[in-house]
Structures are given as C-alpha cells and as structure tokens.
Chains A and B, each alone.
Chain A
Amino acid sequence: AQTVTQSQPEMSVQEAETVTLSCTYDTSESDYYLFWYKQPPSRQMILVIRQEAYKQQNATENRFSVNFQKAAKSFSLKISDSQLGDAAMYFCAYRTMNRDDKIIFGKGTRLHILP
C-alpha cells in the first residue's frame, strides 16, 4: 500500500525568506502523481503544485517549486520569498495514474510566517 510521510508537524520561516517542506512516500508503482495542497484557515483545499512521476523536470509555480527525487521517493516543496498569506497547513499527496483513484495524504505540515 502506498504511504505518504511528512516528518515536520510545524515549521516557521521569516517573511521574505525561503523554506523547504519535506515529504517522502512509498509505492511500488513506476508512474504516479504527486501533489502539494495548501489548506489556509478557511480550510479550502488549494492545489499548489503537482508533479508527474514520469517527468524528470521539477515542477514550478511562481514562488513554489519542488525537488522530486524519484529514486529516493522524496518530494519536497520549496517556497521562496515567503509571504504572510503562505501561512497554512501543507499536505503532500500521492495518487496513481488512474484519475478516479483516491488521493493519499500525508499528515501535514503547519507553516508559520514570522513578520
């Protein structure tokens, strides 16, 4: 069975600085999707970034980028130029290639932005 592990329950970063959230996963599949979701205090789940496992190039979305290490089964999220609005719970997630399959979430990392 696939699992997703986030080993950092909470992290803090100074505004405008860079922070990296860690995520590891376990799967026997060769192709799959990985995601980072953000859940702000409103509790609306927001897709931050996604990575297809067959793509070697790391995904980027503006200030958000990932370091995808397939062999190590590692998928970390880097947030550059942190802003107060980045404060939220961040969930790493995994899904098979089947779009109707369930998403498996990690336990989350709560990110605090220090002004």
Chain B
Amino acid sequence: GAVVSQHPSRVICKSGTSVKIECRSLDFQATTMFWYRQFPKQSLMLMATSNEGSKATYEQGVEKDKFLINHASLTLSTLTVTSAHPEDSSFYICSATSSGGAPKNIQYFGAGTRLSVL
C-alpha cells in the first residue's frame, strides 16, 4: 500500500533553534500534503495545506513565519519550525493525497514527529 515517510520521528532541540521535519510519499505522487499538530489526548488540528510548486495555505491562527512549509517536489514536503520555543513542543503529523500511483480519495498519514523544545 501507499506509504508516507515522516522524519525524524523524535527530535529534541534547544529553545531558539530551528527544526525541519520531512514528509515523503514513497511510492506515489502527492500534489497536496497536509500538516497537522496534535496535543496530548486531543484531535488533529490542521495547520496548513501544502501544494506542490506553490505557497502553502495556512489555517487561521497559524503563523506563517513560524511554521515554514516547502513543497518543492511531487514527493516531498517539509515543515520548518523556526526559532522553536517550549510552547511549540507537540506531535506533528503529515498526510498526503495521491495524484498518481496510489488509490485516490484517501489521505495517507505519516507516523508523526514528536518535537520537544527545551
């Protein structure tokens, strides 16, 4: 089946540093990818929709300059948390819909990244 690889699975960083999270569709093309944030015992909160070759669409209340999204190819989207602070600590999940190579109308999810900012 279609696989979305998310890396790293866990990252610990110091306050003020930037962290990049990668989301790759391994065996299909994905013109659209999504980035979610999940707090403990809560649902997934959509942060932004990443579109290949164009600017991401951010949800209301999500800081564009804080959470930089780049979707430079049909198989890779990256989320960079800039100048991370402890309040950015969370679980980040990406997902992708197939535009070729896998059944469409399904969102395929990465395994998530646990970010801890000290």
Residue numbers of A with Cβ under 8 A of B are: 33, 42-47, 50, 91, 95, 99-100, 102-103, 105-108, 110
Contacts and interface: CB of A to CB of B under 8 A. Distances in A.
A91 B93 CA distance: 15
B111 A50 contact: no
Given A103-B34, A106-B43, 15 more contacts: A42-B111, A43-B93, A43-B111, A43-B112, A45-B93, A47-B107, A50-B106, A91-B44, A95-B107, A99-B97, A99-B104, A100-B32, A102-B49, A107-B42, A110-B41
The interface size bin for chain B is 20 to 34
Contacts of B41: 110
Nearest to A97: B105
Contacts of A99: 32, 97-98, 104-105
9 contacts: A33-B105, A44-B111, A45-B93, A47-B106, A99-B104, A100-B32, A100-B97, A102-B46, A108-B43
Given A99-B97, A99-B104, A100-B31, A44 B43 contact: no
Contacts of B29: none
Given A42-B111, A44-B111, A107 B43 contact: yes
Interface in B73-105: 91, 93, 95, 97-98, 104-105
B67 interface: no
B39 to A, nearest CB: 12
Contacts of B107: 47, 95, 103
Interface in B14-58: 31-32, 34, 38, 41-44, 46, 49, 51
A53 B62 CA distance: 31
